[in-house]
Structure 1
Amino acid sequence: MDRPSRLGGVSWRRVATVTVVAMCLGYAPIAMTELWPYARPGAPAIGEWLLGRAVSPQYVADALATRIEPYRRSLVPMILHSVLGGMLMLLGPVQLLTAVRRRVRLHRTFGVVYALTVYASMAGAAVYLARTAPPEAFDGESFWLVLATILVGTTLSVTFGVLAALGRLPDLHQRWMLLCYGYLMTAPLLRLEWGALPWILPDGLPMEDVNRVAVMHLGSVVVFGALLASRSLDRRDSLPSQGGTWAPWPVLAVAHAAGAAALVLLGRSFLEHGAEGRRLLVAFLLPYAATWAVMVWRQHAAGRDGRPWALEEWRLHLTALCLAPVFSAAATVCFERYMRLDALTALSAGVGIGCGVLAFAATTAVSLRVLYAREVVRRAAPKRDGARPAESRREGVGTK
Structure 2
Amino acid sequence: MRRTAGARGRWGRAAALAVTVICLAYAPIAMTELWPYARPGAPAPGEWLLGRSVSPEFVAEAVRDRTGPYGRSLVPLIAHSVLGGLLMLLGPVQLLSAVRRRVRLHRTTGTVFAVTVYVSMAGAALYLVRTPPAEAFSGAAFWIVLATVLAGTVGSVTFGVLAAVRGFPDLHQRWLLLCYGFLMTAPLLRLEWGLLPSLYPGLDLFDINRVALMHLGALVSSGALLASRALDRRATVPGLTGTWSPLPVRIAAHLAGAAGLVWITAAFLDEGTAGRRLLLAYLVPYAVTYAVIAVRAARSAAWPREEWSLHLTALCLAPAFSAVTVPVLERTLDLDRLTALVAGVGIGCGMLAYAAVAAVSLRILYAREVLRRQRESTDLPAAPAKAGAALEGGRG
Partners of 2:69 and 2:137 within 8 A in 1: no
Q: Which residue of 1 aligns with 2:78?
A: 79
Q: Which residue of 1 aligns with 2:107?
A: 108
Q: Which residue of 1 aligns with 2:265?
A: 267
More helix by share: 2
Secondary structure of the corresponding residue to residue 262 of structure 2 = helix
CA deviations 1:95-125 (Å, max 9, x no partner) are 0000000001110000000000000000000
Question: 1:1-400 counterparts in 2 under 5 A?
Answer: 11-201=10-200, 203-302=201-300, 307-382=301-376
Q: Distance in 2 between matches of 1:5 and 1:136?
A: 50
CA deviations 1:324-365 (Å, max 9, x no partner) are 001101110101122110000000000000000000000000
CA deviations 1:48-73 (Å, max 9, x no partner) are 00000000000110121121121111
CA deviations 1:188-240 (Å, max 9, x no partner) are 00000000001111x21111111100010000000000000000000100111
Q: Distance in 2 between matches of 1:185 and 1:10?
A: 22
Letter in 1 for 2:303: W
Give unmatched runs, 5+ long, in structure 2: 381-396
Q: Check 1:198–1:6 CA distance in 2 against 1; reply closer, same or farther (3 A cut).
A: farther
Secondary structure of the corresponding residue to residue 237 of structure 2 = coil
Secondary structure of the corresponding residue to residue 151 of structure 2 = helix
CA deviations 1:131-184 (Å, max 9, x no partner) are 111011121100000000000000000000000000000000000000000000
Secondary structure of the corresponding residue to residue 138 of structure 1 = coil
Q: Check 1:317–1:3 CA distance in 2 against 1; reply closer, same or farther (3 A cut).
A: farther
Asked which structure has the greater CA Rg, the reply is: 2
Q: Distance in 1 between matches of 2:331 and 2:73?
A: 30
RMSD over aligned Cα, in angstroms? 1.6
Partners of 2:317 and 2:352 within 8 A in 1: yes
Partners of 1:270 and 1:281 within 8 A in 2: yes
Secondary structure of the corresponding residue to residue 312 of structure 1 = helix
Q: Distance in 2 between matches of 1:236 and 1:266?
A: 38
Q: Distance in 2 between matches of 1:282 and 1:225?
A: 20
Secondary structure of the corresponding residue to residue 328 of structure 2 = helix
Letter in 2 for 1:339: L
Q: Check 1:238–1:289 CA distance in 2 against 1; reply closer, same or farther (3 A cut).
A: same
Give unmatched runs, 5+ long, in structure 1: 386-400
Q: Distance in 2 between matches of 1:122 and 1:232?
A: 28
Secondary structure of the corresponding residue to residue 245 of structure 1 = coil
Partners of 2:65 and 2:138 within 8 A in 1: no
Q: Check 1:4–1:194 CA distance in 2 against 1; reply closer, same or farther (3 A cut).
A: farther
Secondary structure of the corresponding residue to residue 11 of structure 1 = helix
TM-score (norm 1): 0.93
Letter in 2 for 1:142: A
TM-score (norm 2): 0.94
Higher relative CO (Cα under 8 Å, sequence separation at least 6) belongs to: 1
Q: Distance in 2 between matches of 1:107 and 1:10?
A: 22
Q: Distance in 2 between matches of 1:373 and 1:4?
A: 29
Letter in 1 for 2:289: T
Q: Distance in 2 between matches of 1:73 and 1:340?
A: 23
Letter in 2 for 1:343: R
Q: Check 1:341–1:331 CA distance in 2 against 1; reply closer, same or farther (3 A cut).
A: same
Q: Which residue of 2 aligns with 1:393?
A: none
Partners of 2:118 and 2:154 within 8 A in 1: yes
Letter in 1 for 2:320: V
Partners of 1:115 and 1:158 within 8 A in 2: yes
Partners of 1:4 and 1:13 within 8 A in 2: no
Percent identity for Structure 1 against Structure 2 = 65
